[in-house]
C-alpha cells in the first residue's frame, strides 16, 4: 500500500501528464522536493524509480490506445507520446516483446487468455449484447477515503475486508463503495496494476487520504455476475463496444466501479463500471 500522500500526488501527476514528456525534475518540482530526496521516497513507496515509472506509464498508456483506438494509425498514437516511429517500435518491443502492430492484432486473444481473470464460460459479448448493458450518464463526483495499492486485481476481496475494518467508523447508510482503476490487466502486468479502494465520505472528513473522483459523462456498464467475469466485461467494453461506439476514453478522468452488491462468499457482484468518455 502506498501511504505517502506526496508520492500519491506524484503518481497522479505522472498519469495525467505522461503524454507531455515530463521528467524527474518536473515531478519533483510539482511535489516541492529536491529530486534526490524525492527519488528515494518514491522508490521506497513504489519499488520503482521515478524514471522507470514514467517510462512504463508512457508505453502502457500508448498500448491501451492501440487496443481501444483501433482506427487510429500507430504512428499517430506513438507521436502522442513523443516517439518517432523507429524509437517507438524499439521501446515497445523491449517492453512487450512484440511489435506495436502485432500487439494490436493479438489484443482479443490476450484478453481471452488472461491467467488470473479468464473464466472458462466467458466469451466476448457482441456489440449489440454489450450495448444493451450500457447507458450514457452524467455521473456525479464522489469525495472519498481511499487506499492506493500496486498489485493484482485478484487481491481486491482480501483488501476490501481490511479496508472496511480500518474505516468502519466512517460508514453510514449513504456510503457508496468504489474502486478507481488505472490499468488494464491485458496491458499491464498484474503486479504493476494500480488501483484505489474507496468509500464516499463527507468533505468534512479529517483524514489526509481523501480525494475526489470526477464523474461527468460516462459510459456505464451495468454488471451482474461472478467476479471472474468482470475482466471479460472490461475487455468487451474496450475491444468491442468502444471502437464501434465512436467514443474515446477521456484521459483526464479515471475509470471507476460503483458497487451495489457484493457476495464475497459466492463471489457474485453487482456494480456499475463507469468509463469516462469524450
Kindly state whether residue 264 falls inside one of the protein's structural domains: yes
Percent share of the chain, pLDDT over 70: 94
Please write the tens of the pLDDT for every residue from 36-59: 999 999 999 999 999 999 999 999
Report how many domains make up the chain. 2
Are 272 and 180 members of one domain? yes
Nearest alpha-carbon partner for 243 in 113, 13, 114, 64: 64
Q: Which of 77, 112, 147 is the last residue of a domain?
A: 112
Are 211 and 237 members of one domain? yes
CATH number at residue 253: 3.20.80.10
Are 94 and 146 members of one domain? no
Range of the domain at 90: 5-112
- What confidence category does residue 180 fall into, taking pLDDT thresholds of 50, 70 and 90? very high
- What confidence category does residue 122 fall into, taking pLDDT thresholds of 50, 70 and 90? low
Kindly state whether residue 125 falls inside one of the protein's structural domains: no
Are 73 and 211 members of one domain? no
pLDDT at 76: 96
CB-side neighbour CA atoms (13 Å) of 227: 15
C-beta pairs of 16-24 under 8 Å, 24+ apart in sequence: 16/251, 16/252, 18/54, 18/57, 18/58, 18/61, 18/81, 19/58, 19/61, 19/80, 19/81, 19/82, 19/251, 21/82, 22/54, 23/54, 24/50, 24/51, 24/54
Mean pLDDT of 20-32: 92
Are 149 and 69 members of one domain? no
List the single range of 81-90, 132-141, 224-233, 266-275 with lowest mean pLDDT: 224-233
Contacts of 186 (CB under 8 A, 6+ apart): 67, 107, 110, 111, 114, 235, 238
List the single range of 77-81, 100-104, 212-216, 262-266 with lowest mean pLDDT: 262-266
Residue 212 has pLDDT above 60, yes or no: yes
Are 93 and 157 members of one domain? no
Are 45 and 135 members of one domain? no
Mean pLDDT of 131-135: 96
pLDDT at 265: 76
Are 157 and 241 members of one domain? yes
pLDDT at 109: 56
Nearest alpha-carbon partner for 106 in 119, 96, 121: 96
Residue 248 has pLDDT above 60, yes or no: yes
Are 87 and 143 members of one domain? no
In a 10 Å sphere around its CB, with 0-12 CB exposed, 13-18 middle and 19+ buried, how is residue 118 labelled?
middle
Nearest alpha-carbon partner for 187 in 91, 66, 54, 48: 66
Kindly state whether residue 71 falls inside one of the protein's structural domains: yes
Are 135 and 241 members of one domain? yes
**Calculated CA dihedral for residues 133, 135, 141, 147, nearest 10 degrees:** 20
Q: Give the distance between the most distant pair of CA atoms in the chain.
A: 55
Q: DSSP alpha helices (H): ranges in 118-172?
A: 127-132, 156-166
Are 158 and 237 members of one domain? yes
Kindly state whether residue 117 falls inside one of the protein's structural domains: no
Residue 262 has pLDDT above 90, yes or no: no
Kindly state whether residue 47 falls inside one of the protein's structural domains: yes
Residue 121 has pLDDT above 80, yes or no: no
pLDDT at 105: 87
C-beta pairs of 249-252 under 8 Å, 24+ apart in sequence: 249/64, 249/68, 249/275, 249/276, 249/277, 249/278, 250/216, 250/217, 250/276, 250/277, 250/278, 251/16, 251/19, 251/61, 252/16, 252/276
Mean pLDDT of 249-264: 91
Mean pLDDT of 20-27: 92
Q: Which of 112, 142, 162 is the last residue of a domain?
A: 112
List the single range of 4-8, 123-127, 209-213, 268-272 with lowest mean pLDDT: 123-127
pLDDT at 144: 98
CATH number at residue 15: 1.10.10.60
Residue 94 has pLDDT above 90, yes or no: yes
Residue 149, all three cell numbers: 495499492
Mean pLDDT score across all residues of the chain: 90
Kindly state whether residue 120 falls inside one of the protein's structural domains: no
Amino acid at each position: 500500500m502506498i501511504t505517502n500522500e506526496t508520492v500519491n500526488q506524484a503518481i497522479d501527476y505522472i498519469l495525467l501528464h505522461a503524454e507531455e514528456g515530463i521528467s524527474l525534475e518536473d515531478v519533483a518540482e510539482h511535489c516541492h522536493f529536491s529530486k534526490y530526496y524525492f527519488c528515494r521516497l518514491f522508490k521506497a513507496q513504489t519499488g520503482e524509480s521515478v524514471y522507470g515509472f514514467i517510462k512504463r506509464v508512457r508505453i502502457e498508456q500508448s498500448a491501451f490506445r492501440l487496443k481501444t483506438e483501433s482506427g487510429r494509425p500507430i504512428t499517430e498514437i506513438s507521436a502522442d507520446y513523443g516517439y518517432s516511429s523507429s524509437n517507438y517500435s524499439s521501446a515497445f518491443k523491449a517492453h512487450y516483446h512484440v511489435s506495436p502492430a502485432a500487439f494490436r492484432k493479438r489484443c482479443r486473444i490476450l484478453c481471452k487468455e488472461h491467467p488470473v481473470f479468464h473464466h472458462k464460460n466467458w466469451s466476448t459479448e457482441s456489440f449489440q449484447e454489450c450495448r444493451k448493458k450500457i447507458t450514457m450518464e452524467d455521473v456525479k463526483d464522489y469525495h472519498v477515503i481511499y487506499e492506493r495499492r500496486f498489485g493484482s486485481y485478484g487481491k481486491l476481496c482480501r483488501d476490501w475486508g481490511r479496508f472496511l475494518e480500518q474505516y468502519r467508523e466512517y460508514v453510514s447508510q449513504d456510503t457508496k463503495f468504489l474502486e478507481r482503476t488505472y490499468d488494464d490487466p491485458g496491458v499491464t502486468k498484474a503486479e504493476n496494476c494500480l488501483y484505489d479502494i474507496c468509500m464516499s465520505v463527507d468533505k468534512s472528513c479529517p483524514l489526509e487520504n481523501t480525494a475526489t473522483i470526477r464523474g461527468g459523462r460516462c459510459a456505464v456498464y451495468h454488471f451482474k455476475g461472478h467476479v471472474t467475469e468482470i475482466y471479460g466485461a472490461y475487455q468487451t467494453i474496450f475491444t468491442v463496444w468502444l471502437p464501434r461506439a465512436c467514443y474515446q476514453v477521456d484521459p483526464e478522468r479515471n475509470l471507476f466501479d460503483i458497487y451495489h452488491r457484493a457476495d464475497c462468499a459466492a463471489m457474485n457482484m453487482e456494480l456499475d463500471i463507469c468509463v469516462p468518455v469524450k
